[in-house]
A and B are shown apart, each in its own frame.
Chain A
Amino acid sequence: MSIPDQSKATVAPATSAVIAAAVMVRNESQLEAALDALARQSYETAYTTVVGGGEPAQKVARRRAISWVSDMQGLIAGLPAAATHVWLVHDDASPRKDALAALVEGAQRVEASVAGSKLLRTDHPGMLESVGAATDVFLVPYSGLDSEEMDQEQYDVVRDVAFVFGASTLIRKDLFKGLGGTDPLLAPQAAGIDLSYRARAAGGRVVVVPSSEVLHASLCSEKTPLWREEAGRFRALLKVYSPVTLGWTVPLSAVIGLLYSFAMTFLGRKRALVDLVLGWGWNLYHLPSTLAGRRRLHRSRMAGDEELFRYQVRGSALIRELSDRFSSKVLLEDQLAGRLSGIIERRRAFWHEPGFYAVLTALVFLLIAGREIVADGLPAAGLALPLPDSAWATLRSYAGGWNTSGLGSPAPLHPSIGATALVQLLLVSHANLAEILLSVGAVGVGLVGTVRLLRRMEMGPLARYAAALALAGGPATRALAGSGDWPGMIAIGLAPWAVESVVAPWPVVLREKIGYLARAALATGALAAFAPVAVLLPLAAVIVRVLVAEGAPWSAVARAVPVTILAVSLLFPWLYRISVDQLLSHGESLYFNPSLWAIAGFAVATVFGLMAGDRRTVGFIGWGGTLAVGGSWLARTAGLGVGREPTVAGYVAAAVGTAIVVGAAIDLSARFSDARLWRVIGGRGAALGGLIVAAGVVLLLPSGRLGLPEDRFGSQLEFAAARSLDHGADRILMVGAAGELPGESRAGTGFSYRVVSGTGPIFPEAWLGAPRQGDVALEEVLERIGAGLELRPGQSLASFGIRWIVFTGPNPLEVALESQLDLRQLPGLDYTTFESEVFGARAVGADGIPWTWERPDYVGAGTALGPVYVAENQDRRWGEDWMASGWANEVVPSNGRITFGGDEPNRNWALAAAGVLAVLAALGIVGFDRKAL
């Protein structure tokens, strides 16, 4: 192949460089031409060697009296002492006559350790192939060239690049030997990336010298499968980055690789996923040599990862490629030239933002970590109970209606029930969708909220994202979710928003100030709905911040007080009825006992952060640490008799505080990467501790339930609805240990128990009211049954509307049922279940015909006469014509319906709270300042 002589006059290098040329053989057919091109160089090579290629190449070398070696090791060993540089040339490359001279001159002029030539296509000599290139952080190359871009000397300036393609590379001999040459396992492009990155990490400068032109036939690339290049890039990444950088690049690279491969399957590369798996397998297989390469580089390493980042493009080149491909598929070419081109360009800019990838990664994480919730809905366990079909019925109960939990009561429902019902109502009562939105959405909201909070603190992106992961997967969140405390889990997701709302800068304009307070009250109120005692968290957070962090304004405390008061108003009517003692001591609380790993990670982050941090970092560590440790103490007061609500608030505080500490620790490491050694070490130690805590988020992935326990009361209780009679499912008495029952339970002698509706436990019935007459009567019956004094327990329980008894574990009551006459055990169910042979509906007319329960009312035939026995706790507000029937009610129905008349004070409080909510929402919208975002 003849080469058009387009050589330009080149100035001879100032100092003489002794060049040892090495022709890397990948395609023997081009070797002769390559050697001819080398022979014609104006800058003579002192030594020429042929590397690889087997016997044909060996013959060619022998015929030309040129040395031949089989591999890179042979080349390195055979390099003459006099040589100062090594010129690596592919056998399918044809350097112009002055290519080497230009390379040497250019490298010496800028004192570069590695210099690459401008590559032109052999078939179209005027067309550019490579002028050095950038990569993204995952070492995926990004050339910046347009397709079939012609060489118009537009890139002809010596400049630093991320890597040079290995077709023509001049490298200092000492550096070449120190790095061990190129990696023989890597494909050509990946080998160039690998060599360039390692050279830069070893303190060398990598430049492209466009005046050195080389024609390249690209035969080496044609023969190499694409997956080898991709795998080789990943190997180069593993070799060159520090452990801290690997900690986030490896998983992100895997996720982006998966996304890319999946998308490319539909965009013309059907083998994409197969190639991905091949690449991972290849890297796994060669991991030992990869690690050896890391150790070798470590011996000569002079620069940190920051030096490598300098020549990288932002974002992901793969995602950018995907967006380009997608755009070109969707849009017609002529539209690209029109107004839409501007939109596309802006969209491309958005797609190129790091935040976009963070959002994408978060979505993928949520889909994987919450896949079971998305597919099957909320698992029924603990307080994580499915939502009922009708949100309106729940809201009716909430606003002074009948609380249907257990045997019923007029007690107000927990504020989280009202909040979830509101969300469900907005989704047109779609229960499953509401569960997914509240569960997966809460975690997502928590991620975003944490990022916002820490952006408000001016922390870097890596710190913000790590903190978000620490919130979602930290020990407090995992412990609370693992116990089935679904409302607590939602509260943790809302907490960063509530805290951020009171630390945000105070606006100037009055309208915006009002909007600020309104939105802060809404955020705090939303948090308090799911964890009432946590209404104090934003206030506590600002107070702590003022005390420990420099520069935090006391005015934030003054703002947080009215915010807290407004938020408290949203907790009515529940707060109206509950006493302080009940608030502080009612309910089962989970004793916080984090793992040693989590404690160690947090301690390392805190201690190193305090030691090595500047004042800013100390302030954040102090703020977050106080919240985290103080919250942890509150979450460990179960042994002191403290009830659920305060301990859940402790968990929420601990989660937020932990996230702040993690963020501060990683921010410290990023900001002081080039400070004094002790600060760098301290920063890296703190970051390591923070990463250990944040890494807990991966523990959410296997189950697919965001850390919630597996379903225990869903399918296991379906038999009740399946075997229901015409009037609907009858009540179920569930008996077991306290922690093995849905929601709250009551204590018997040696067992706990609770009554649930026959359709299964639902979230609005998670909490039980204070015991009333019916509950006392039921307790007495169960005591008698447990003492073996009841031969017909079915008959005794029929008056309570109980048809089923389900045992979630062995207990004394089950033993007592071994000798009874009217309960038949059902075989083949997950739990030991007995069915009563005695008919007993929740409501029965005088004619013996049962009434149907349509939560929270009872419905019967419109023509029914006479009183109806209603097995709910006695309350005269069940009807105007009401009579007590033991502990229950006898009501004369009206138009075939029995409805609880309502608790006026509760209703009024609920309506007032709704009004406050509406006003706050309106003020929040009116006073919204977009710039404050």
Chain B
Amino acid sequence: MRRALVAVLIGVLAVAVWLAPAPEPVTVELPVTTATAGPVVASNFSNCAWAIADDTRETLMSIVTLSDVEVQLTFPVAGEIRETYPESLPGPGASAIPLSTILSLGVSPAVVEFSDSPAAAGVIAEGEGSLAGDLCPSSASKVWVLPGGTTVQDRPLDLQLFNPFPEDALVTVEAISEEGFEPVPDLERVSIPGRSWRTLALGDVLPFRQRLSVTVRTEQGRIIPAMVQTNGTDQAIWTDVGRSEVWEFPLVAVGELQPFLAIANAGPLEVTYTLDVFTADGPVESAVEGLVPAEGHDRISVAGLADGAYAVRLRADGPVSAVVVGEGEGQVAATSGAPLTARQWMLPGAGANSSAQSSLWFLNTGADSITVTYQLLDAGGTVDLPSKVALPAGTVRRVPLDQIGVSGVIAESTGLFSAAWSAETELATAYASGIPVGE
């Protein structure tokens, strides 16, 4: 009897042991190491891959902030921090700091840090017959796609690779021209030492290419690239702000520049796209259609799509990169489109160049009318009272900036829209995208 009881006792306990559940295994999911650059959203730091200050050119390091911030500009050179520049900026406010007051070494990329967000930075470089500017991205991706270049005669094209981080970076640059993919040994496994940069003269390794797009893949470390296109005395700079199926270009053509859209498809499938045109009077949908081959690019003229000022929206059936380029006689300007719409935009550097005619560009591709309120800013804070512009559904507005001493603009609305700005002189033009403020 006792034997049986003991057996039953042990048996019952054994069943309980067998039934005891095992704990759930813990799996660590590594984030997808941002394979592609994300949309530039106002953050607490910006990487300005290209800025220049020498005898003939000056760059304004422009900053816009919504709240009081402490700003620090850090200039890494040849593996060390050569210079840091602190500044306090009340918010909302903007500042345009001449680079030459900090460093005058020629090309001097920088990291701009803010003690608070949202804040954003951009650069606007000016010289004799030269005007170039663009935003400074906040992300440091592993893959960057930069379409829109050309290396035809007298059109130098440089790829600036900025590594502000302590660790060395190793990248491979893949180039696609009108002849397709062009393998170049000199562009494979390019090393960029920590806290330094390298400038690759693409015209030297791939000359006389009508259309040139590059994809920069990072094997080790991180870099921030910028394309620098020269035409005559003018220059244009642009960077990669991500991949999207929808791109808005509030700014398409300024002055006599002939506008082109450069579209790059880094994916394995071909992509068809449609261009919608937006004028001051309303939209013209599906004005143009096209196709971008897999791992290829396309360059399409968007000149003469409408009378007067007009904007373009690109809709694709796959994620692409897109840049608007304006070319003229001895002039060039370029900027990336806006891969998303937002209710609030920062435009660092808009109006900062007192010798240029600056314009703000607002695009409303939505179905409802909106009113955009824009505030001019300088180092002291706001300049004048905010201004408003009505934006009916499917329209674009160009707003000239007449004030001087402005360093940046903040624009906001109750509805979604996109924004950009341009600056032009008699001999040069610059395009720059706005920076959306994340909600």
Verify A789–B2 contact, CB threshold 8 A.
no
Is B328 positioned at the interface, with any CB of A under 8 Å from its CB?
no
Is B201 positioned at the interface, with any CB of A under 8 Å from its CB?
no
- Minimum CB–CB distance for B10 against chain A, Å: 4
Verify B30–A815 contact, CB threshold 8 A.
yes
Provided the pairs A548-B2, A823-B166 are in contact, do residues A638 and B30 lie with their beta carbons within 8 angstroms?
no
Provided the pairs A629-B13, A815-B33 are in contact, do residues A639 and B26 lie with their beta carbons within 8 angstroms?
no
Q: Which of A789, A810, A812, A824 contacts B166 (CB 8 A)?
A: A824
Chain A residues, Cβ within 8 Å of B222? 818-819
- Minimum CB–CB distance for A787 against chain B, Å: 10
Q: Give complex CA distance A31, B146 in Å.
A: 105
Within 8 A of A (CB), among B1-41: 2-3, 5-7, 9-10, 13-14, 16-17, 20-24, 26, 28-31, 33
Chain B residues, Cβ within 8 Å of A789? 43-44
Q: Which of A97-105, A156-164, A558-566, A620-628 lies at the interface with chain B? A: A620-628
- Would you give the 0/1 interface string for B199-239, flagging 1 where the beta carbon is closer than 8 Å to chain A? 00000000000000000000001100000000000000000
Q: Give complex CA distance A622, B12 in Å.
A: 13
Verify A821–B166 contact, CB threshold 8 A.
yes
- Minimum CB–CB distance for A628 against chain B, Å: 9
Which B residue's beta carbon lies closest to that of A736?
Answer: B28
Is B164 positioned at the interface, with any CB of A under 8 Å from its CB?
yes
Give the tally of cross-chain contacts (CB within 8 A): 103
- Would you give the 0/1 interface string for A816-848, flagging 1 where the beta carbon is closer than 8 Å to chain B? 001111111100000000000100000000000
Is A48 positioned at the interface, with any CB of B under 8 Å from its CB?
no
Verify A791–B113 contact, CB threshold 8 A.
yes
- Minimum CB–CB distance for A46 against chain B, Å: 61
Chain A residues, Cβ within 8 Å of B317? none
Verify A738–B26 contact, CB threshold 8 A.
yes
Q: Which of A618, A619, A811, A824 contacts B167 (CB 8 A)?
A: A824
Verify A822–B166 contact, CB threshold 8 A.
yes
Which B residue's beta carbon lies closest to that of A824?
Answer: B166
Verify B43–A812 contact, CB threshold 8 A.
no
Q: Give complex CA distance A632, B17 in Å.
A: 7
Q: Give complex CA distance A454, B139 in Å.
A: 69
Verify A548–B43 contact, CB threshold 8 A.
no
Within 8 A of B (CB), among A779-824: 788-789, 791-792, 809-812, 815, 818-824
Chain B CB count within 10 A is highest, among A750, A791, A825, for A791
Q: Give complex CA distance A622, B10 in Å.
A: 7
Provided the pairs A638-B23, A639-B21, A819-B140 are in contact, do residues A629 and B166 lie with their beta carbons within 8 angstroms?
no
- Minimum CB–CB distance for B222 against chain A, Å: 5
Within 8 A of B (CB), among A495-518: none
Q: Which of B9, B17, B29 contacts A636 (CB 8 A)?
A: B17
- Minimum CB–CB distance for B340 against chain A, Å: 18
Chain B residues, Cβ within 8 Å of A792? 113
Chain B residues, Cβ within 8 Å of A638? 22-23
Chain B residues, Cβ within 8 Å of A822? 166
Chain B residues, Cβ within 8 Å of A176? none
- Minimum CB–CB distance for A480 against chain B, Å: 16
Is A737 positioned at the interface, with any CB of B under 8 Å from its CB?
yes
Chain A residues, Cβ within 8 Å of B221? 818
Is A591 positioned at the interface, with any CB of B under 8 Å from its CB?
yes
Is A933 positioned at the interface, with any CB of B under 8 Å from its CB?
no
Verify B6–A625 contact, CB threshold 8 A.
yes
Chain A CB count within 10 A is highest, among B23, B74, B113, for B23
Verify A630–B13 contact, CB threshold 8 A.
yes
Provided the pairs A789-B44, A818-B221, A825-B167 are in contact, do residues A610 and B17 lie with their beta carbons within 8 angstroms?
no
Q: Give complex CA distance A876, B222 in Å.
A: 44
Verify B2–A618 contact, CB threshold 8 A.
yes
Is A633 positioned at the interface, with any CB of B under 8 Å from its CB?
yes
Chain B residues, Cβ within 8 Å of A885? none
Q: Which of B13, B21, B30, B167 contacts A810 (CB 8 A)?
A: B30
Is A615 positioned at the interface, with any CB of B under 8 Å from its CB?
yes
- Would you give the 0/1 interface string for B61-94, flagging 1 where the beta carbon is closer than 8 Å to chain A? 0000000000000100000000000000000000
Verify B9–A811 contact, CB threshold 8 A.
no
Q: Give complex CA distance A461, B149 in Å.
A: 89
Verify A610–B3 contact, CB threshold 8 A.
yes
Is A47 positioned at the interface, with any CB of B under 8 Å from its CB?
no
Q: Give complex CA distance A593, B165 in Å.
A: 47
Q: Which of B14, B44, B113, B164 contacts A629 (CB 8 A)?
A: B14
Which B residue's beta carbon lies closest to that of A751?
Answer: B28
Verify A618–B14 contact, CB threshold 8 A.
no
Chain B CB count within 10 A is highest, among A550, A737, A788, for A788
Verify B20–A636 contact, CB threshold 8 A.
yes
Chain B residues, Cβ within 8 Å of A750? 28-31
Q: Give complex CA distance A636, B14 in Å.
A: 12
- Minimum CB–CB distance for B47 against chain A, Å: 9
Is A757 positioned at the interface, with any CB of B under 8 Å from its CB?
no
Is B111 positioned at the interface, with any CB of A under 8 Å from its CB?
yes
Chain A residues, Cβ within 8 Å of B33? 815, 818
Q: Give complex CA distance A593, B222 in Å.
A: 44
Within 8 A of B (CB), among A867-893: none
- Would you give the 0/1 interface string for A717-761, flagging 1 where the beta carbon is closer than 8 Å to chain B? 000000000000000000001100000000000110000000000
Within 8 A of B (CB), among A623-657: 625-626, 629-630, 632-633, 636-640
Q: Give complex CA distance A811, B20 in Å.
A: 31
Verify A812–B30 contact, CB threshold 8 A.
yes
Is B45 positioned at the interface, with any CB of A under 8 Å from its CB?
yes
Provided the pairs A638-B23, A819-B165 are in contact, do residues A548 and B28 lie with their beta carbons within 8 angstroms?
no
Q: Which of B7, B45, B166 contacts A610 (CB 8 A)?
A: B7
Q: Which of B2, B22, B165 contacts A639 (CB 8 A)?
A: B22
Chain B residues, Cβ within 8 Å of A812? 28-31
Q: Give complex CA distance A621, B140 in Å.
A: 66
Q: Which of A633, A637, A737, A825 contacts B26 (CB 8 A)?
A: A737
Q: Give complex CA distance A629, B2 in Å.
A: 18
Provided the pairs A606-B10, A737-B28, A811-B28 are in contact, do residues A618 and B164 lie with their beta carbons within 8 angstroms?
no
Which B residue's beta carbon lies closest to that of A639?
Answer: B21
Q: Give complex CA distance A621, B10 in Å.
A: 10
Q: Give complex CA distance A235, B164 in Å.
A: 75
- Minimum CB–CB distance for A596 against chain B, Å: 13
Chain A residues, Cβ within 8 Å of B17? 629, 632-633, 636
Q: Give complex CA distance A809, B30 in Å.
A: 11
Verify B166–A639 contact, CB threshold 8 A.
no
Q: Give complex CA distance A17, B2 in Å.
A: 59
- Minimum CB–CB distance for A825 against chain B, Å: 6
Verify B6–A548 contact, CB threshold 8 A.
yes
Q: Give complex CA distance A426, B5 in Å.
A: 49
Q: Give complex CA distance A873, B28 in Å.
A: 29
- Minimum CB–CB distance for A323 against chain B, Å: 46
Chain A residues, Cβ within 8 Å of B167? 818, 824-825
Q: Give complex CA distance A736, B368 in Å.
A: 50
27 chain-A/chain-B pairs, Cβ below 8 angstroms = A548-B6, A591-B22, A610-B10, A622-B10, A626-B10, A629-B13, A629-B17, A630-B13, A636-B17, A639-B23, A640-B20, A750-B29, A750-B30, A751-B28, A788-B139, A809-B28, A812-B28, A818-B167, A818-B222, A819-B140, A819-B165, A819-B222, A821-B165, A822-B166, A823-B166, A824-B166, A824-B167
Binding site for B on A (CB under 8 A): 548, 550, 591, 593, 606, 610, 615, 618-619, 621-622, 625-626, 629-630, 632-633, 636-640, 737-738, 750-751, 788-789, 791-792, 809-812, 815, 818-825, 837
Binding site for A on B (CB under 8 A): 2-3, 5-7, 9-10, 13-14, 16-17, 20-24, 26, 28-31, 33, 43-45, 74, 111, 113, 139-140, 164-167, 221-222
Top 10 A-B pairs, shortest CB-CB distance: A622-B6, A819-B140, A639-B21, A636-B20, A629-B13, A625-B10, A639-B23, A824-B166, A791-B45, A819-B222
In the complex, besides A637-B20, A639-B20, A824-B167, 17 extra interface pairs with C-beta distance below 8 angstroms are A548-B2, A548-B5, A548-B6, A548-B9, A591-B23, A626-B13, A629-B13, A629-B14, A639-B21, A639-B22, A737-B26, A750-B28, A750-B30, A792-B113, A818-B167, A819-B165, A821-B111
